Structure 1
Amino acid sequence: MKPVFVQPDPAGPAIELTDVTVRADRTPLIQHVNWRVDYGQHWVVLGRNGAGKTTTMSVAAAQRFPSSGTAVVLGRRMGTVDLRDLRTYIGLVGAAQRLPDETGHTAHTVVLTGHSGSVLPLWERYDDTIRDRAAKLLELVGCANLAERPVRVLSQGERARVRLARALMADPMLLILDEPFAGLDLPAREDMLAALHTLAAAQPKLATVTVTHHLEEIPVTTSHLLMLRAGTVLAAGPIADTLTDADLSDCFDRDLAVHRIGERWAAHAR
């Protein structure tokens, strides 16, 4: 029977993976992953290249079925609902993600395309309310002054924040940011972190997951941490309890020391 669309359950978990394994050509990419994200929580995911971060996120974003185990996204078990509809409630932001028609459209137009989920703007679908929402989201991420500027002239950091605003146009219940700071210089990184801080305050029920390699890129709003190593969960829980010297050293196979500077995190090799 073809799965049918069911409204996401706001009372259920945003993500719940139970004993999830994903294989490719019989090779396990992740194994026996158990992970739960509730609404309003802000998770960061750490791990070396090849640790399984991308595969785990593909399941969490309802982009890929597990080979075994159970995956619940937005309170609905994968395999019982139409994933195409479920994905409309999930915002995705990635450094490698191209913006629609980067050569000609303004930042405001690109954000509008997030409402229709289209590569090109579908003008007939954008009424004054939707156009106003796009403008307010650009303001939320600190890009109100860039609304009428062509995307092609924006810096990498400005484009990163436009991607964030575009992902928010569909009013997602879950936001996944896959290495959103890649390629950004220090000022651009700090602007992006400030935008995420503002977003958390503006939408307290939104669940977010940020994938990064660097502790300095962990948003100050982060409440929980997932560490992956060789396709398995090394640690998961409140960040203050799980971001330890021992676990971080195991995660990256290097003797590392963790520092807390105000509300920010950092690490160095001993």
Structure 2
Amino acid sequence: MGGVNDAQATEPVTDPDLLLDFRGVEFVRGGNTLVGPVDWQVELDERWVIVGPNGAGKTTLIRMASALEFPSKGTAFVLGEQLGRTDMRDLRAAIGLTSSALAQRVPEDEKVGDLVVSAGYAIVGRWREDYDEMDYEQAMDVLEQVGAMHLIDRRWGTLSDGEKKRVMVARAVMINPELLIMDEPAAGMDLGGREDLMAYLGELALDPDAPAMVMITHHLEEIPYGFTHAMLLDEGEVVAQGLIDDVLNSENVSKAYHQPIEVTRADGRYFARRARSSRAGAHRK
């Protein structure tokens, strides 16, 4: 007699303050567990960086966070909605995403201005003759912020890898997302371009009105100041997660990368290098 109510009572629910709520999440393909189990919560004012070696499962994890993949096991809530029980397209429209996979879908002859503007229409590639002037003004604003305003009339196929990265960040921010997810946004950039982008992302991270942010990187030097939390992954498993200063230390990073790594911090930025052995130091003396 109370079957329906009993069923409703056992339905998983999430805290409304959590933009991401992963509980025992695993991603399995071909009998191999690529990620998991992972328990992970992201709140509105948090800025997360996910770090780990190649093949650690970083991209797979954020594909689930971006509502592009379903977990094989466990429960995943994204923007308050449970994956597998909601329209994924609605979720994606509220998530700003930068990734190499998305960049590969952009037509070579697409103008940068049109590419950024079209983010508001949840498409890749021009599909209408004219966009609203207000859309173009916003596109110019975000391109200016990421140091890419001079590219607005360029064709996508003529851009360098670093220029493409900057444009994709502008496109992700264009929609005023609830959640901003960036897969190696600084990869392929020269030093000047990287530092320009780091400055912008650092300012965004410190803005209380900015969306929650999740970023993947291989390099600690590419973590902007203002990021609050970190997760270290290795072979799909969480090595450590929590407040960034507690996670990104020499012990944890060495464990994730299976070699002695010395981690230092200066002016809110992190740096890593292979630790010198005492034996090597003695030889130099």
Please list the CA deviations of residues 140-165 of structure 1 after superposition, one character each: whole Å capped at 9, or x if unmatched.
22222332333344333222111111
- Counterpart CA distance in 1 for 2:36 and 2:143 is 39
TM-fit CA distance, 1:203:
6.4
- Counterpart CA distance in 2 for 1:167 and 1:192 is 14
Task: Give the greater-gyration-radius structure (CA).
Answer: 2
Alignment partner, residue 3 of structure 1: none
Query: Are the equivalent residues in 2 in contact too, given 1:12–1:74 (CA < 8 A)?
Result: no
Alignment partner, residue 188 of structure 1: 193
Alignment partner, residue 227 of structure 1: 232
Q: CA distance change for structure 1 residues 20 and 99 in 2, over 3 Å: closer, same or farther?
A: closer
Alignment partner, residue 47 of structure 2: 42
Q: 3-state SS of the aligned residue for 2:77?
A: strand
Q: CA distance change for structure 1 residues 10 and 90 in 2, over 3 Å: closer, same or farther?
A: farther
Alignment partner, residue 37 of structure 2: 32
Query: Are the equivalent residues in 2 in contact too, given 1:116–1:122 (CA < 8 A)?
Result: no
Q: 3-state SS of the aligned residue for 2:23?
A: strand
In structure 2, give the amino acid aligned to 1:162: V
TM-fit CA distance, 1:99:
6.2
Query: Are the equivalent residues in 2 in contact too, given 1:10–1:74 (CA < 8 A)?
Result: no
Q: CA distance change for structure 1 residues 146 and 206 in 2, over 3 Å: closer, same or farther?
A: same
1:46-195 paired onto structure 2 within 5 Å: 46-95=51-100, 97-98=103-104, 100-102=106-108, 104-123=109-128, 126-195=131-200
TM-fit CA distance, 1:107:
1.9
Q: 3-state SS of the aligned residue for 2:213?
A: strand
- Counterpart CA distance in 1 for 2:252 and 2:242 is 12
Q: CA distance change for structure 1 residues 205 and 189 in 2, over 3 Å: closer, same or farther?
A: closer
Q: 3-state SS of the aligned residue for 2:263?
A: strand
Match of 1:21 among 21, 26, 40: 26
Unaligned ranges ≥5, structure 1 = 1-8
Match of 1:200 among 196, 199, 205: 205
Alignment partner, residue 17 of structure 2: 12
Match of 2:257 among 252, 255, 264: 252
- Counterpart CA distance in 1 for 2:15 and 2:142 is 23
Query: Are the equivalent residues in 1 in contact too, given 2:97–2:182 (CA < 8 A)?
Result: yes
Stretch deviating more after TM superposition (198-207 or 223-232): 198-207
Please list the CA deviations of residues 17-46 of structure 1 after superposition, one character each: whole Å capped at 9, or x if unmatched.
111111112211112101111112111101
- Counterpart CA distance in 2 for 1:145 and 1:125 is 21
Alignment partner, residue 262 of structure 1: 267
Q: CA distance change for structure 1 residues 95 and 64 in 2, over 3 Å: closer, same or farther?
A: closer
Please list the CA deviations of residues 32-83 of structure 1 after superposition, one character each: whole Å capped at 9, or x if unmatched.
1011111121111011112111211111111111111110101111122101
- Counterpart CA distance in 1 for 2:32 and 2:110 is 43
Match of 1:216 among 216, 221, 239: 221
CA RMSD of aligned residues (A): 2.1
- Counterpart CA distance in 2 for 1:236 and 1:58 is 19
Query: Are the equivalent residues in 2 in contact too, given 1:94–1:178 (CA < 8 A)?
Result: yes
In structure 1, give the amino acid aligned to 2:164: R
- Counterpart CA distance in 2 for 1:177 and 1:74 is 17
- Counterpart CA distance in 2 for 1:126 and 1:152 is 22
Stretch deviating more after TM superposition (138-147 or 150-159): 150-159
TM-fit CA distance, 1:126:
2.3
Q: 3-state SS of the aligned residue for 2:215?
A: strand
Q: 3-state SS of the aligned residue for 1:167?
A: helix
TM-score normalised by length of structure 2 = 0.85
In structure 1, give the amino acid aligned to 2:155: P
Q: 3-state SS of the aligned residue for 1:32?
A: strand
Stretch deviating more after TM superposition (208-217 or 148-157): 148-157
Query: Are the equivalent residues in 2 in contact too, given 1:99–1:163 (CA < 8 A)?
Result: no
Percent identity, please: 39
